Amino acid sequence: MTVDIPLVNGTTQCTVTAYSEKSYQATVKFYSQFLSLELETKDANSTTLRNSTVSLKVVLEGNAEKHAESEARFQELTGDLESADWRSLANSSLVFKAANVVQCKEALEGQGPGVQVQAYPTDLFPMELYVVDPVGNVVGVTRTKNAVSTMPTAPPASKGTFTSSVPSSAQSTSALSEIDEKSISAEVSEVTASASGPGEKAIAVMTSGGDAPGMNANVRAIVRTAIAKGCRAYVVMEGYEGLVRGGPEYIKQFSWEDVRGWSSEGGTNIGTARCKEFRERAGRLLGALHLIEAGVDALIVCGGDGSLTGADLFRSEWPSLLQELKETSKITSEQYTRYKHLNICGTVGSIDNDMSTTDATIGAYSSLDRICRAIDYIEATANSHSRAFVVEVMGRNCGWLALMAGIATSADYILIPEKPASSREWEEQMCDIVTKHRSRGKRTTIVIVAEGAIANDLTPISPNDVHKVLSQRLKLDTRVTTLGHVQRGGTAVAFDRILATLQGVEAVNAVLESNPDTPSPLIAINENKITRKSLVESVRQTKSVADAIQAQDFKKAMELRDTEFVEHLNNFMAVNSADHNPPNLPQDQRLKIAIVNVGAPAGGTNSAVYAMATYCMSQGHRPYAIYNGWSGLARHESVRSLDWKSMLGWQSRGGSEIGTNRCTPDEADIGLVAYYFQKYKFDGLIIVGGFEAFVSLHQLERARDNYPAFRIPMVLIPATLSNNVPGTEYSLGTDTALNALMDYCDVIKQSAASTRGRAFVVDVQGGNSGFLATNASLAVGAHVSYVPEEGISLEQLSQDIETLAESFQTAQGRRRFGKLILKSKNASKVFTPEVLADVITAEANGVFNAKSAIPGHVQQGGLPSPIDRTRATRLAVKAVDFIESRQEDIYKARADDDEFDPDDKEISSTAAVLGIRGSDVVFTSIRQLYDFETEIGKRMPKVIHWESTRAIADSLVGRKKVDVKN
């Protein structure tokens, strides 16, 4: 028996061969009854049977020997019906997807009592049914999602497309594509209806240069946003090489389903390659011709500075390229007019994070995560043997990876190209720092070397050079570790998935809004805001850094780096010196500063405490920790001075080393709290925590009138996975929680995809805030997220179940089709995850089922992410600087009650929340936030800053929103 077309998903056209006239007639009768097939054509030696999807040809080939073999096979299979499983005995089988297995069983019984069948799991309620046809082939029908035949397959004999009825409800591949487009068209009809103008455009995306985690998420967002806005979406395979080669093999139109599941995949699925031909005008001429042939109006390039330089050059040459193509009759006058202008936009995909004007590039934090994990592991073995490790990291001419890894892992020394020293100087500096650290009891030494590290005479510094110094001069047992391309590998962290997605959406908006006079934009991020920058200027500034380094103008190179890079470098140097060098401040400016953790544990809390304490030491301040929150202070006077050695390793630890709880000063006894503040003569306070910490700061600020001990500068560093603290769009711990939840969801989604017809309802923490569920939904491509801000209406739930059912029917068992539903714990008290899963399963009418999944406190635990570690360091240093700078503003109020006015704005501003708002880091008065910007009962800010993210998350999965007001 041969199969001409693969039978998966119901694409069926097969040929059955009989070797005698008798078996030929019996086979025709068998299949026409069993599969409800009707006669289509018949000649002397063949009969074609067909219904709307199955086309089966029975061929007569007289051969006595083969007839005997088929008879023997039939007898062997049917001889032991009770104990033999035909599925295991047959070398191959032919399986159809059936809408009604019982109907097929009744059709067999109608052929007479001699027909034998095997039904699973039971004869009464069969899901699968197997029978042996008259020529000895095992034939089955199934109600499961996949009807998988194991017969040898061959190329299709025809391209006919059929529609199924009884034996199979699946469509052919081409029919599935049509269904996908119709489904997606319906899903985004509201958006498309308002995009009739841009809807005529075709937008292409390519990835170029070195691959970076998050590129696939960027491509997915661009493709789906383009389709949602009524445009045609194309991908250019293999980067600029694909442009030069052209044709449908390299410039492909993509549908909505083509990018399903891409967010969770590493690398770039559309390929990337460096192309010498495109550097020449002849190559760019071919690229222009191929884009016009494909009908592309706009090109979005995801790559580094070299790729984006090529993109902007391509756009600047576009008019002359088209003119040449027209003059050589390669394009028509109509094409020349139609494609006269090419809009280009850049999204930066690079692990080096070397693009000026943006705080982060796609893939950089994923690479940093790999580095920090590796160094965390190395630290453990280094501690066991009291060894030194030299770790080389990537970065080309940029030391960002080395710098940030140095901060996140408390490395002893880093070597970066932006701040070189002479060979003698860096050797002396490194040895001095390592010696001081070792003399104070540190057992490990970590030195991080950027691959572009140089001395100030441009001599490269290799890991072996560092190894030689450590082993020969300091006599340390030293090892070298080169991480290599491990830094590029793996899936993207949550930040990169979200960044890539948001930038992809903005890139499509940018090219649709551009006109011939608009400079090519580059999509950037500044602090917490997606922005558009000039592509030309960004690339020029980036290249000028390398030029300045080559010219040995290192001061200029540092000035050309963004201010955050310089800030991080200064922080590393200050924190790294700790109490080993003379303090920066004179004796009369040195302060006593306390730090306390309040609320639930959050990733980065220990990093903030470590950075605060070590920075205080370098300045000359005395850092104190209030252990176990306000209750620990009130009950046990749990105040301890922090020392450097006792905090070794805190930077990379999860949880809270000084302890935390949700108790507020009023609950603990605010009078006792004030007493201990007075006893220890604190000059400043840093609170690290969530909404309870926010309330604590408010209580302390309002108590200043009665308790002079609280008339000191006080700062809150928000730290909560809920991200519900007013005054900031980012809290420590949210990134760690997002990564933990994302990893959990990736595993759950894989299970759902393997089971095919299954969705998981995942319970998400966050209190009354939907931030975590919303951003996790964007990162993992969840079909639905339910949040407290919206609740769960019956109308929306019904619509979501209907959309899910349509999606599963469209899927027809294809891979990457696991479905996730994220539910914030407080989105509904009635619909718990278990209840919601049961309701969805009941309403799905057998199309799919749902299970609940509870990650619980996994979302709080684990090692803090590099983002939370480095931002904790940055915010802690800013908090100490704030306390230093506001001493004079409150000095008189501390000394004299008559001078104290609690309503004075200058005074009240000394109790502030340190937050990130848009593109700025700001201090906002707690009084302003508490009185005017907070929903106290809901423990939420009045303005929900992530609302736009929800709309994007819904649009990228085609979710239909119900207007319950109507």
Active-site residue set: 352
Task: Say whether 535 sits in a helix, a strand or coil.
Answer: helix
Chain mean position to CA 53? 40
| 128 vs 113: CA distance, rounded Å | 20
Query: Which tokens is 682 given?
Result: 């604190």
User: Dihedrals φ, ψ of 420, to 5°?
Assistant: -80, 165
Non-local (6+) Cβ contacts of 80 within 8 A are none
Binding site, annotated residues: 210, 274-275, 304-307, 350-352, 387, 394-396, 451, 479, 485-488, 662, 720-724, 758, 765-767, 851, 857-860, 939
Residue 755 to residues 15, 257, 325, Cα–Cα distance (Å): 31, 19, 53
| 391 vs 428: CA distance, rounded Å | 19
| 678 vs 704: CA distance, rounded Å | 12
| 617 vs 587: CA distance, rounded Å | 13
Q: What angle do CA 582, 875, 678 make, to 5 degrees?
A: 70
CA R_g for the chain: 33
Q: How many other C-beta atoms can be found within 10 angstroms of the C-beta atom of residue 804?
A: 22
Binding site, annotated residues for substrate: 350-352, 387, 394-396, 451, 479, 485-488
Chain mean position to CA 675? 48
Q: Is there a contact between 453 and 361 (Cβ–Cβ < 8 Å)?
A: no
Query: Which tokens is 193 given?
Result: 């209806």
Q: DSSP H helical segments within 756-832, as ranges?
A: 771-780, 794-811
DSSP-assigned letters across all residues of 621-686: -EEEEETTHHHHHHHH--EEE--TGGGTTGGG--S-TT--BS--HHHH-HHHHHHHHHHHT-SEEE
| 659 vs 723: CA distance, rounded Å | 20
Q: Is there a contact between 331 and 314 (Cβ–Cβ < 8 Å)?
A: no
Q: Is there a contact between 721 and 605 (Cβ–Cβ < 8 Å)?
A: no
Binding site, annotated residues for Mg(2+): 305
Chain mean position to CA 80? 54
| 145 vs 98: CA distance, rounded Å | 10
State the distance between the two ends of the chain, measured CA to CA, in whole angstroms. Answer: 59
Of 581, 587, 557, 580, nearest in space to 569 by CA = 557
Residue 839 to residues 761, 800, 827, 852, Cα–Cα distance (Å): 11, 12, 16, 11
Q: Is there a contact between 380 and 407 (Cβ–Cβ < 8 Å)?
A: no
| 187 vs 961: CA distance, rounded Å | 10
Q: Where are the beta strands (DSSP E) in 149-199?
A: none
Query: Which tokens is 530 given?
Result: 């997606």
| 498 vs 534: CA distance, rounded Å | 22
Burial (CB < 10 A; 0-12, 13-18, 19+), residue 282, is exposed
AA identity, residue 669: D
Phi-psi region of 36 (alpha: psi -120 to 50; beta: other; left: phi over 0): left
| 837 vs 48: CA distance, rounded Å | 46
Q: Is there a contact between 913 and 728 (Cβ–Cβ < 8 Å)?
A: yes
Binding site, annotated residues for ATP: 210, 274-275, 304-307
Query: Which tokens is 866 given?
Result: 């590099």
